[in-house]
Amino acid sequence: MTRDAQVAVVGGGVMGAATAWQLARRGVDVVLVERFGRGHVFGASHGASRNFNVSYEDPALLAWLREASVLWRELEAETGAGILTTTGIVNHGPGRDLVAAGRAIAAGGFETELLDAAEASARWPGFRFAGPVLHTPQAGRLHADRARAGFADAAAARGARVLTETAVVGGSVGSVDDGVALRLRAADGAEQELRVDRVVVTAGAWTVDVLASLGATFALPPLRVTQEQPAFFAPLAGAEALEDWPGFNHSSSPDDPATAWFPSGVYGMGSPGEGVKAGWHGVGPETHPDRRTFVADPGLSARIRRYAQEWLPGVDAASLAEITCTYTSTPDSAFFLERVGPVTVGAGFSGQGFKFAPTIGRVLADLITAR
């Protein structure tokens, strides 16, 4: 079969764009195929803010974060865009042993600082703390839209072809030597065939659908797709400026009356231009990405407003404004990164994957280029 390119990456969210960037940096002839338009809001990569959270205890993930912290700066140098802002992140709540976490994070190469509630409240008056606070000063905030666009633009600058508003509607998968044929349909209905040696599927909530359209047999873990709804609150005078709000992770415990009502842990950060962001983690209704409502669940909305009233004295809890996005999660929240023959799949990143994107792009590029 005559090839049109060496590799096709299907799905132009942050993971697919990062993979295309990593491949293009190696001189691989790569095509990035995105079903929707540039900057769309139908998946999980849009918006202005994600936490660059380094509060992990797994040494392997901490090593990936050290790599990612370097690669984010390399992307900024290539694109001239500010993407990673160091704001620090505060971790608190009774659901985690913060002393043990601090030891693990420090062993993994990141600075930590353990404060009592009074010290932390004096430093960050926008929060209420009821116990010890673990501060990771090298953590920060990522600008999601700039990151996704930056990876795609940097890949294109190195020779990658980027096809937007182009869906994969069929295809066939051969052996490692036979390659993959993809049938593509543009927004105007025009179809074409794209023949490649390898394909990487990073289609988020559409992963199962894309693999089915290609006829690819893959032993995926169950992928749970939910519609999530982070909220934004206006900061009050006297609290931190949005640019200065640290990110935050607040863990709950069923034995603690003050947090037992949480449906999950809470994450958030200051998001310039939007407000102080706060959200539950992975508790939204299950859905199919083509049938989601884009309407926030009123019960979860009421709870996040209550959270702001009780734990974020630096915001106006009545100013709640919400967006919706999709999460695609594996049962154990581990990333799925596997290759079978000429097909490599990256999936299950939602809720924690964004910060790892340039490293995950490197891993997927390693998988797809190794025989």
pTM of the model: 0.96
Say whether pLDDT at 327 is over 80.
yes
Say whether domain 85-140+224-329 belongs to CATH 3.30.9.10.
Answer: yes
DSSP 236: P
User: What residue ranges do the domains of the chain occupy?
Assistant: 1-48+143-222+332-371, 85-140+224-329
27 conformational bin, left if phi > 0, alpha if psi -120 to 50, beta if neither:
left
* Cα distance between residue 291 and residue 191, in whole Å: 24
CATH homologous superfamily of 1-48+143-222+332-371 equals FAD/NAD(P)-binding domain (3.50.50.60)
Predicted confidence at residue 6, as pLDDT, reads 97
Say whether pLDDT at 211 is over 80.
yes
* Cα distance between residue 260 and residue 106, in whole Å: 29
Predicted confidence at residue 370, as pLDDT, reads 86
- pLDDT tens string 262-286: 999 999 999 998 999 999 999 999 9
Predicted confidence at residue 1, as pLDDT, reads 57
Predicted confidence at residue 92, as pLDDT, reads 98
- pLDDT tens string 339-353: 999 999 999 998 899
* Cα distance between residue 241 and residue 230, in whole Å: 20
